[in-house]
Structures are given as C-alpha cells and as structure tokens.
Amino acid sequence: MVTTTSSYTNSRYRADVGLGYDGVVRVSNGGAFGTGSLLFDGRTVLTAAHLFPNGNVNGKVRFETQQGISEISITKVLIHPNYDTDANNDLAIIQLSSPAPVTANRYNLHRDTVDIGSTFTLIGYGQKGTGASGADSTTSSNPLRLKAKNSFDIDVAVLKETLRSGLAWNPEPGTQLIADFDNGATANDALGRLTFSSDLGEGIDEGMLAPGDSGGPAFIGNEIAGIGSYTAAIARLGVNPDIDDKKNSSFGEIGAWQRVSYYQQWIDQNLRTYDARTPKTINAIQKEINEGASGTSLTYFLVQFSGIRSNPNQIVRVDYATKNGTAVAGEDYLETHGRLNLYPGENHAVIPVEVIGDMVSEPNEYFFLEIFNPIGGKFSGDAVSLIAMRTIIDDDIAYG
C-alpha cells in the first residue's frame, strides 16, 4: 500500500478490481508479506528475493480479481543466484501450485533500456501513510492494493558516484532504478539536491514504496519495468532533504527498483526451464490440446533459429501476438502478445498460450499465433511474418 501524497482514502490511489491490476498479488511467506506480479504464463510471479530469507518457502499468493479473492500455494521459489545483503539482484520467481484465476491480469516485461525519466505506476499491499507523516506500521493488518505514480530519476550508478563513501550500501551500477518522493518543494527534492537530477514530482499522484510493497511492480504502460526493493533516507555535507529525519517512506526519501530490462535474460531463461513439459523440438509440439473442464491449460508454440549470428553475443528477437480463428480470445483462450528473445547460445524457445477450460459442449475450435518483426535474423523466403495454428479439442460430454 504505497505511501501517498494525500490520504489513502482518496479513490485516485485505489487499484480496484477491473482496473488492470488484478495480476498484482499479495505474497505471504511465514510471518512476512510483500507484493508480486503475475507473469505472462499465468503460473509464475515475479517478486523480491528478500521475502524468502535463507530460501525458506512457506507461503501463499493472494489474488483479488473479478472472480473474487483466492489463494494459491507456492511450490518453489527461484532466487537470483547473485542476490546479496546490499540488495543487489533482489529478484525471485515464484512457481504456483495451480494456474492463476482466468480474470487475473498477466504482465509482460519492459524490455526497453530507455527508462530513466519515464513516469511509472507503482502498486503494492504495504503499509498506509502519507508523505508528510510516513508509513504507519499499525496498518499492516488491513492490506489494500494501492497505486501511485513517480518517475525514474537516475540509475543507481549516479547515486553511487555522487555519494561515494557516504553511501551505506554497495549497489551494482546499471541494475537499479532510483526515484525520490517529491512534494513539489525544492527543499525535499532529494535527487535534485544531492545528484542534481531535479524533478518536483507528479503532484497529488506522487507516491513511494512502504514496508509490504517489496516485490511490487513499477509499470511503464502495462509492462513491468521495475521490482520494488528498498527505501533509504540519504544526506550529504549537511544537505538532508528528508522531511522528518526518519526512514519511514516520507517526503524527501528515495526508493529503488530492480531494473527488469537488465534482468530479462535471467527471467526468460528460468521461465523456459521450470516446466518439464515445455517442448524442446518441433517434433515434440502438440498442435491439438484438450480444453479441460476449468482453469487454464498451456499450449506451446516453438520458435527456432537456424541461421548464423553475425555476432556471438547477438540477441535474436521476434514480436508475437495471438489471433482469433473460430476460438475467441477471453472465451476460449487468453490473448497474449509480446517479444521473444533468443539469447546467445540459444536457437529455440517457446511461447506459451493459455487455453480456457469449461463444461460447455461445443465444436472443436482453433486460433493462431503470428510472429513478426524479426531482428537479428529473417524469415525463410523473406516472409513478413509466420503464423501457426492450434486446435482446441472439446472434451465435454453433451447430455440431453
């Protein structure tokens, strides 16, 4: 529940059901809790590693969607192997014991490295509070999903270079995005005063991370650009922008988000390997899938690169999008679109699409997935795009 400029009771801060944030979830593990985001496969959640001390897993993920409130157990957590106590690489991927609700939003990664200066929306289930008073620890028992805005002011490298020995932790340059909590006053413009990156904020929409928002997303558009990691109160040579001299998510403090574009390879490649059913060859692809009675099932499209990279470190990429046939997105399958990267050493990867199960007897139906806009390679015969079809087999029994 991010701290906000005005009272959290102002409706502008509510991330209510149906507004596009129903894939932002509350993550509990033991006695701790945080926030996370449902990824595009509907079976994994991206969050912060520090929610799982020593790798211990004993928790659930709570969804609030148009289907109501539900909880799904966590079966496994993948912690970034280089996570450390300086909050470097503070990322984790949660594997769910069952598919997410159909009405939960699925999110793509923000892959564009041009993110400094961008306005973003932060979402979380943390403590309530305002920039003037800070977060209130007594509000943890009544979690609400709140939203606010801010802008990424600098890369953490700028903070490290400016404060040098005055910085109490050792962040890795390029891996974290930093924003400050502005109230429109120059005196409390932390990054303006300390790193000469002046920005007086988003007005009444401005907000900041609070305890319990760890792991929460920072959205640019509807893509995850950052994962909430920590806050800090910083000062140097008598310059102290914090409004109350307390580390409590108040005006004049800063927040840090793990930079998703930097970590996209780690995220992508772990998603491709966690599911043992993921096909590895064209011959292993099943072009028909049983509908099922409820929830969702995965069907896979495999993209294979048979060319030669001009540079061994080159990333080959394509954009993709599903298209209706007789099967309709939202009724028979979940629409998906995005970008697929093939990283150095990879020559194939899959695109999962979720098929919606029901008990309605109906004819077999089909839909398509198109790939287009190749970068680092080209399609055979100089085609503009390639398209493949999947058939949904109706396995319901009619009775009359």
Q: Write out pLDDT tens, residues 152-206.
A: 999 999 999 999 888 999 999 999 999 999 999 999 999 999 999 999 999 999 9
Q: How far is CA 17 from CA 5, 67, 225, 320, in A?
A: 22, 10, 22, 28
Pick from 132, 228, 142, 136: which is nearest to 188 by CA?
Answer: 132
Going by pLDDT thresholds of 50, 70 and 90, the confidence category of residue 397 is low
d(CA 351, CA 315): 17
Average pLDDT over residues 63-77: 96
- 398 or 331, higher pLDDT: 331
Tell me: pLDDT of 372 over 70. Answer: yes
Is the domain spanning 3-266 CATH 2.40.10.120? The answer is yes
Domain with CATH 2.40.10.120 in the chain: 3-266
> Which SS3 state, helix, strand or coil, does residue 69 take?
strand
Count the Cβ atoms, other than its own, within 10 Å of residue 23.
25
Mean pLDDT on 46-73: 93
Residues 182 and 204: their CA atoms lie apart, in Å, by 10
Cα→Cα distances 340→286, 322, 329, 346, Å: 20, 13, 20, 12
Residue 400 has pLDDT above 50, yes or no: no
Could you give the CA distance from residue 86 to residue 173 in angstroms, rounded to a whole number? 12
Q: How far apart are CA 343 and CA 114, in angstroms?
A: 20
Is residue 394 predicted with pLDDT exceeding 90? Answer: no
Burial of 320 (0-12, 13-18, 19+ CB in 10 A): buried
* pTM for the predicted model, two decimal places: 0.95
Instruction: Give the pair of three-digit tokens for residue 359.
Output: 């008990």
Name the 3-class secondary structure at 272.
helix
Contact 98, 208 (CB under 8 A): no
Residue 145 to residues 65, 211, 279, Cα–Cα distance (Å): 12, 13, 37
Whether the CB-CB separation of 108 and 123 falls below 8 Å is answered with no
Convert the pLDDT of each residue in 122-134 to its tens digit.
999 999 999 999 9
Mean pLDDT on 196-217: 96
pLDDT at 1: 53
399 pLDDT exceeds 50?
A: no
Confidence label for 306 from pLDDT (cuts 50, 70 and 90)? confident
Q: Which CATH class is domain 277-393?
A: mainly beta
Query: Is 380 exposed, middle or buried, given 0-12, 13-18 or 19+ CB atoms closer than 10 A?
Result: exposed
The CB density around residue 155, as the number of other CB atoms within 10 Å, is 20
Residue extent(s) of CATH 2.60.40.2030 domains in the chain = 277-393
Q: What is the pLDDT of residue 398?
A: 46
Residues 6 or more apart whose CB falls under 8 angstroms from that of 369 comprise 301, 320, 321, 322, 323, 351, 353, 387, 388, 390
Note the Cα 192 to chain centre separation in Å.
Answer: 28
Asked if residue 19 has pLDDT above 90, the reply is: yes
Answer with the residue of higher pLDDT: 126 or 310.
126
pLDDT of 82 above 90: yes
Of 23, 93, 88, 24, whose CA–CA distance to 52 is shortest?
93
Q: Residue 125's closest CA among 55, 47, 33?
A: 33
Look at residue 219 in the predicted model and tell me its pLDDT: 98
Start-to-end CA span in the chain (Å): 51
Q: Which residue, 331, 349, 329, 347, is CA-closest to 339?
A: 349
Dist. CA 251–CA 185, nearest whole Å: 10
φ and ψ of 203, to 5 deg: 70, -140
Q: Per-residue pLDDT tens for 284-296?
A: 899 999 998 889 9
Q: Are 272 and 80 in contact (CB under 8 A)?
A: no
Strands 223-232 and 108-109: parallel
CA separation for the pair 275, 283 (Å, rounded): 18
Alpha-carbon gap, residue 250 to 4, rounded angstroms? 9
Average pLDDT score over the chain: 93
The model's pLDDT over 223-243, given as tens digits with 9 standing for 90+, comes to 999 999 999 999 988 899 999
Which range, 92-96, 272-276, 361-365, has the best average confidence (pLDDT)? 92-96
Q: Residue 389 pLDDT more than 80?
A: yes
Judged against a pLDDT cut of 80, whether residue 395 lies above it is answered with no
Q: What percent of the chain has pLDDT over 70?
A: 98
Which residues have a Cβ under 8 Å from the Cβ of 71 and sit 6 or more positions away? 60, 61, 62, 63
Beta strands at 296-304 and 385-393: parallel, antiparallel or unpaired: unpaired
Average pLDDT over residues 368-381: 94
How many C-beta atoms surround the C-beta of residue 223 within 10 A? 18
Question: In the prediction, which pLDDT does 396 show?
Answer: 59
